[in-house]
Homo-oligomer: A and B are copies of this chain.
Amino acid sequence: MHHNTMEVAHQAFGHFTHGLATGEWELFLDMLTDDFTFWFPLKPYLGLNVGKQKAREFFQYVSETFSEGIIVTSLERVTSNETTVVFEFRDEGLLRGEPYKNRLAVSFDVREGKICSYREYFGSDGKSN
């Protein structure tokens, strides 16, 4: 069970980083449950967001905001328990043309081979540092 949680989360994280880099989110979206929920630190998605359709809109919004893609520059820590995997990483990109860097933690909850919930946390407040 724990092993499978890690495997599913790593696969999802791979599709997630692919989405960030390319704007292609289908592989990641395919891994979400229909009742998927996510928490995000900033408006207009601040707080709890419910449903896979909301997720689709959100990731499209991310890729429009970072139209040249976001690159995960290092995966720093991965921690887990039976149902949850947390990835600590850094990323870089251009936010509406301006250099952007962040340090993040994302936490995926796994249920029956899919991701049912996702929480995003910012280490550098979303600004370049």
Q: Which residues of A contact B (CB under 8 A)?
A: 39, 41-42, 46-47, 77-81, 84-86, 88, 103-105, 107, 119-126, 129
Question: How far apart sit A34 and B118, CA to CA, in the bound complex (Å)?
Answer: 35
Number of this chain's copies in the assembly equals 2
Subset of 26 A-B contacts with CB under 8 Å: A39-B103, A41-B125, A46-B125, A46-B129, A47-B124, A47-B129, A77-B81, A77-B86, A79-B79, A79-B80, A79-B86, A79-B107, A80-B80, A86-B86, A86-B107, A88-B107, A88-B119, A103-B119, A103-B121, A105-B107, A105-B119, A105-B121, A119-B123, A121-B121, A122-B123, A122-B125
Residues of the B chain whose Cβ atoms lie less than 8 Å from the Cβ of A46 = 124-125, 129
What distance in Å separates the Cβ of A86 from its nearest Cβ neighbour in chain B? 5
